[in-house]
Homo-oligomer: A and B are copies of this chain.
């Protein structure tokens, strides 16, 4: 009696799957996420997942999108007092922080927004705010994309890689200049932070220069 098949209340939901999958990826990495392992974690059998997602990749996309959803976008709201430069700056920091909280999913997230709703919502918010600030639409699109390139590239190229700390594997003689610079590899985190800060500042300064040149000619309404 009491055969287990379909309970009155569903055991699974998309939200519960995404949450558990995210926790598993955070704790043990992308490679640890198999449909069977995830199902076990959820107390069901492997194929059950396919009642809620069509493929494992869709689950991963949903996990990535949940991270995107945590990015602060308040600086792009119409009544926010921050100017476009400050908005981009603050957004970049929040963006990076969201990725830093979930470094293992970054490779999925960095593949572009694709059809992920939260990813698209981010792009939409940046675009709207830049157009309002006086940027031509084409440039506004570019700005959203290039900022994403930099932030995700930085995340992927630094804290998202596995911890390979026995970096002594290479012979310093092969890299004449790097000896000095890469002793800093001990403080790799500092290098990452510094490169990010320098790059972000350069990007914003450079965009500022471009803006002075021809963006404000259309005289967009600003706060």
Chain A residues within CB distance 8 Å of chain B: 107, 110-112, 114-115, 117, 120-121, 123-125, 127-128, 131, 137-146, 148-154, 156-158, 160-161, 164, 167, 169-170, 174-178, 180-181, 184, 191-192, 194-196, 198-199, 201-207, 209-210
**Chain B residues whose C-beta falls within 8 Å of the C-beta of A125 in the assembled complex:** 177
**Is the pair B167, A157 in contact by a Cβ cutoff of 8 Å?**
no
- Apart from A120-B170, A145-B195, A146-B154, 17 more pairs, CB < 8 Å: A110-B153, A114-B161, A114-B164, A115-B164, A121-B175, A127-B181, A128-B177, A131-B177, A138-B184, A138-B194, A149-B199, A152-B153, A198-B207, A199-B203, A201-B206, A202-B202, A205-B205
Nearest CB in chain B to that of A204: its residue? B206
- B148 adjacent to A157 (CB under 8 Å): yes
Among candidates B117, B124, B156, residue contacting A177 with C-beta atoms closer than 8 Å:
B124
Q: What's the Cα separation between A202 and B142 when bound, in Å? A: 11
A112 to B107, CA, bound (A): 12
CB distance from A81 to the nearest CB of B (A): 20
CA distance A152 to B157 in the complex (A): 8
Contact of A206 among B121, B128, B143, B206 (CB under 8 A): B206
Query: In the assembly, what is the distance between CA of A15 and CA of B115, in Å?
Result: 39
A131 to B180, CA, bound (A): 11
Please, which residues of chain B bring their CB within 8 A of the CB of A180? 137
Query: Residue of B at shortest CB range from A153?
Result: B153
B residues near A184, Cβ cutoff 8 Å = 138, 141
User: For the complex, what is the distance from the CA of A152 to the CA of B152, rounded to whole Å?
Assistant: 9
Residue with the highest number of chain B CB atoms closer than 10 Å, among A127, A156, A161, A191: A156
A137 vs B167: C-alpha distance when bound (angstroms):
20
In the bound complex, residues from chain B placing their C-beta under 8 Å from that of A139 are 198
Most buried by B among A143, A148, A150, A210: A150
How far in angstroms is the closest Cβ of chain B from A213?
A: 10
Residues of chain B contacted by A177 (CB below 8 angstroms): 124-125, 127-128, 131
CA distance A124 to B182 in the complex (A): 9
